[in-house]
Structure 1
Amino acid sequence: MRFNRLLRMVAVLSLALGSSFLTNASAEEFPAGDVQYVIPFGPGGESDISARLQQKYFQEITGQQLIVQYMPGGGGAVGWSQLSQMPKDGYTIMGSNLPHIILKPLGKNVGFQTADLDNFFYFHYSPDAILVRNDSPYKTLDDLIQAAKDAPGAITLSGSGTYSANDVANIRFQKLADVTTTYIPFKGTGAAVTALLGGQVQAEWGYTTVAANHRDKLRMLAVSSEERHPMFPDVPTFNELGFEMVGGAYRGMAVPKGTPKEVQKKLSDIFQQINRNPEFQQKMQDLGFVLINVPMEDMDTFMAKQQRVYEATARESGLID
């Protein structure tokens, strides 16, 4: 435990030292150097995939590098709890995920509050989905439900942490389907899908992006989007199957509270420009992402709506009183 704490302190210090020489740069010159992009999950998940795709276009627009680093733990809470200690100059940004940043502080003391993050851009979401391996005996969602009814708690599903979109989806589904399953949280989607592929669990609460990346090994039983996903026209929505479920994981970016608004606006504009690049859009769509554009100027309205929705969901699901 002490060693892990030391590693996190070293990571924060390295970020501070790496950007300290830029603190006097004006907003007009921003960015005058590389930007550190901290992913609060392990490598291999959707947040990491998105960041790696954004790197090329960030460099084309700014002439600077977008350097990806990882600070996993607590389903994102370790990174978000450290954000306030990082430089407030725009040269350190961090992945920001919904519903995680809202639900985690509601459930218990996780070292940060939602308001501690200055979100400046949200760029996509991926719908929740139940996935199984291609050799799974569960060919349909009904098969999985029947197995869960026959042996309550015996069906295990991996997912990306507690108080994540996957966790909420599992709780909602159990209630709607009147079943009991065992949800096993992992440090990000990458670890969750590895557990499924390795046979450690029988199914996964993942996303369309996971299915797109592992089409030769996995299949979706149902997806929680309004309509069938274009990449998977044969996969029914939960709504079609009689379960009112629409939702998923939203991904964006934040900076430490106190970062100058003009710098945040620069960052927002840069990533919005990336999101509008046709080549980037095609790459994201081919991976199963659904693009959205929530710039800094629309963020307060967006976050207020999400706060209401997820707080209501948390109460309905029993995550909070």
Structure 2
Amino acid sequence: MRKTTQLKTTRLGVLVAGMLTTLALSGPAVAESVESYPSQNVQYIIPFGPGGESDISARMQQQYFEEITSQQLIIQYMPGGGGAVGWSQLNGMDADGYTIMGTNLPHIILKPMGKDPGFKTQDLKNFFFFHYSPDALIVRNDSPYKTLEDFIAAAKEAPGSITVSGSGTQSANDIANRRLESLADIKTTYIPFKGTGASVTALLGGQVAAEWGYTTVAANHHDKVRMLAVASEKRHPLFPDVPTFQELGYDMTGGAYRGMAVPKDTPEDVTMKLSNIFSQINANPEFRQKMKELGFVLIDVPYPEVEEFMAKQQAAYEKVARDMGIID
């Protein structure tokens, strides 16, 4: 009887000791994991093709990410559906902080308002928004359209004859084209591509007469293209001779915001750490200057402010969606 009691006591002691050991290990291990994150390279998925603003900014961020973390950002592409192919798959990816994906506004708000793109806006766990690029109507240097009025006059003379490239449907480019058509009472033929890179290639290759792009396109191809007008409130400092749409009598301001998201089950502390890392990158004076020279306008929306930021954008784009006939 005594041996049985001693045996039970010994087993209980081993069990308790094992539980205490597990708890002791799990606490510091989790804390250490977060503290040392990232301890390996991070996969950065761009849901567009290479060569566009999302790709350009990601490649600019690579250097500074490695300086801060000693790890690399490994850029991959998942184009299709104006970003929808990537965003619809994000929440099925590993939620360990080692997979992040670029997100764009207004795309992630407008697309779910139409037919089902495979994702919902609220299901995307955005953790940082870092820049903005104003819409711009762009032509080649050899284009017969020297001014916005030249472009509008030609579109009125032959409705639908002018082809214009852009990045997907229900994107910032699509919205800009529809707004100008409405304001100027014209009709063009909008051709959506899988990203700005492909859209620019179509313009430079003569497949289209004009492109709805951004100030960044003009900055990167200044020797090949010119902007007819820019949809910012003030003239862009890199292009002081390019008028705004408002100056020319068309009440248009807008563009594309770019940020990042993680799978929705990614731990909050890891998500916050990512937000802090990219906030540090955005604050780097050298990085800021390089981005400015490329035509970007930097913004800083860290993870704790994303919900409020998205709520404001949602309200604004609901009106746009009604105007575009996406929703009633």
Tell me the TM-score normalised to structure 1 length.
0.92
Residues in 2 aligned to 1:239 and 1:258: alpha-carbon distance in whole angstroms: 43
Report the counterpart of residue 180 of structure 1 in structure 2. Answer: 187
Query: Aligned-pair distance for 1:314?
Result: 1.1
Match of residue 249, structure 1, among 251, 256, 278: 256
Report the counterpart of residue 79 of structure 2 in structure 1. Answer: 72
Report the counterpart of residue 8 of structure 2 in structure 1. Answer: none
Report the counterpart of residue 291 of structure 1 in structure 2. Answer: 298
CA contact (8 A) 1:23 1:89 kept: no
Is the partner of 1:95 in helix, strand or coil?
Answer: strand
Query: Aligned-pair distance for 1:317?
Result: 2.2
Is the partner of 1:68 in helix, strand or coil?
Answer: strand
Report the counterpart of residue 48 of structure 2 in structure 1. Answer: 41
Report the counterpart of residue 107 of structure 2 in structure 1. Answer: 100
Report the counterpart of residue 18 of structure 1 in structure 2. Answer: none
Report the counterpart of residue 233 of structure 1 in structure 2. Answer: 240
Residues in 1 aligned to 2:31 and 2:84: alpha-carbon distance in whole angstroms: 30
Query: Aligned-pair distance for 1:26?
Result: 2.2
Query: Aligned-pair distance for 1:24?
Result: 10
* 1:139 equivalenced with 2:146 (yes/no): yes
Identity %: 73
User: Which structure 2 residues correspond to residues 115-154 of structure 1 after superposition, within 5 A?
Assistant: 115-154=122-161
Instruction: Map Cα deviations across residues 143-162 of structure 1 (whole Å, 9 max, x no partner).
Output: 00000000000011000001
Given residue 78 of structure 1, which amino acid in structure 2 is its aligned partner? V
* 1:32 equivalenced with 2:70 (yes/no): no
Residues in 2 aligned to 1:89 and 1:123: alpha-carbon distance in whole angstroms: 22
**Structure 1, gaps ≥5 residues long:** 1-21
Structure showing greater Rg:
2
Report the counterpart of residue 57 of structure 1 in structure 2. Answer: 64
Instruction: Map Cα deviations across residues 195-216 of structure 1 (whole Å, 9 max, x no partner).
Output: 0000000000000000000000
Report the counterpart of residue 21 of structure 2 in structure 1. Answer: none
Instruction: Map Cα deviations across residues 89-134 of structure 1 (whole Å, 9 max, x no partner).
Output: 1110000100000011111111000011100000001000000000
Query: Taking structure 1 as reference, are residues 25 and 39 closer, same or farther at Cα in structure 2, changes over 3 Å only?
Result: farther
Given residue 154 of structure 1, which amino acid in structure 2 is its aligned partner? S
Is the partner of 2:249 in helix, strand or coil?
Answer: coil
Is the partner of 2:79 in helix, strand or coil?
Answer: coil
Given residue 180 of structure 1, which amino acid in structure 2 is its aligned partner? K
Given residue 210 of structure 1, which amino acid in structure 2 is its aligned partner? V
Residues in 2 aligned to 1:95 and 1:23: alpha-carbon distance in whole angstroms: 27
Query: Taking structure 1 as reference, are residues 23 and 67 closer, same or farther at Cα in structure 2, changes over 3 Å only?
Result: farther
Tell me the TM-score normalised to structure 2 length.
0.90
Report which stretch shifted further, 307-316 or 128-137.
307-316
Query: Aligned-pair distance for 1:262?
Result: 0.7
Is the partner of 1:26 in helix, strand or coil?
Answer: helix
